[in-house]
Amino acid sequence: MKKILITGKDSYIGESVAKWLARFPGRYVTHTIDMRGNSWKEHDFSRYDVVFHVAGIAHDSSRRALEDLYYSVNRDLAIATAQKAKNEGVRQFIFMSSILVYGGSSGLSQVITRDTVPSPSSVYGKSKLEAEEGIRSLESDQFKVVIIRSPMVYGKGAKGNYPKLAKIARSLPVFPDFDNQRSMIHIDNLCEFTRLMIENFFLQNGEYVRTSESEEIEGSMKQPI
């Protein structure tokens, strides 16, 4: 059973992932902690196999007054959490980043591929990208990092821009037919993708071992996972 710590209480994505993993009895156990203040620093991370970091300022903004807060929460807190996880023996760290590391959403025809170079145009995007860079610098054979650059999330209970757009579309007699392409993901697909990252990037052999038989099978389980 994999033990997962979700860092970020009341997060829509964090809570959704916890509920999704609960669909697989005996496979996962999740725990969520609040990252406000400093109490999280006293929490024992060594009990967990995976830390899923979702804490952060969720909405993009161009307000200069929020710049320090974006960097403090989205960058510095994320890196500090990853460092603590590594120091305490956590094997995998999953960071919820954003598609906005590639730039703003003003371009109606922007299509992002695996070859697109990150070029954030807002403080929000820059803080997320700098967090990614700081977290990746901690990666090692014993500490695996997964970065999820999520696009707009929609689905039951979703927050952010999508519900606003849907509400406008329902209320207006005519909705503009823009010839654009927008990357989106349903919350269920994001949850399953996260689960697959936990399964496929987890550091262990491809099968479990009885402790009493460990000497007998030493050397026989070195095949790739």
Percent of the chain whose predicted confidence (pLDDT) is above 70: 72
For the chain, which residues make up each domain, given as ranges? Answer: 2-217
Tokens at 200, concatenated: 């496929």
Kindly list the strands in the beta sheet with 144-148, ordered across the sheet, starting from the edge strand earlier in the chain: 28-33, 2-7, 50-53, 92-96, 144-148
Among 3.40.50.720, 1.20.200.10, 1.20.58.1610, 3.30.420.40, name the CATH number for the domain at 2-217.
3.40.50.720
The gap from C-alpha 127 to its chain's centroid, in whole angstroms, comes to: 15
pLDDT at 171 over 70: no
CA angle 158, 18, 50 (to 5 degrees): 125
pLDDT in tens, 53-87: 999 987 655 566 678 899 999 999 999 999 999 99
176-211 pLDDT, tens digit each: 444 445 567 899 999 999 999 999 875 444 455 454
Instruction: Please provide the average confidence, as pLDDT, over all residues in the chain.
Output: 81
Instruction: Give the pLDDT confidence score for residue 67 in this predicted structure.
Output: 87
For residue 137, pLDDT over 50 is answered with yes
Q: How many CB atoms lie within 10 A of CB 90?
A: 23
Which pLDDT score, from 0 to 100, does residue 180 have? 46
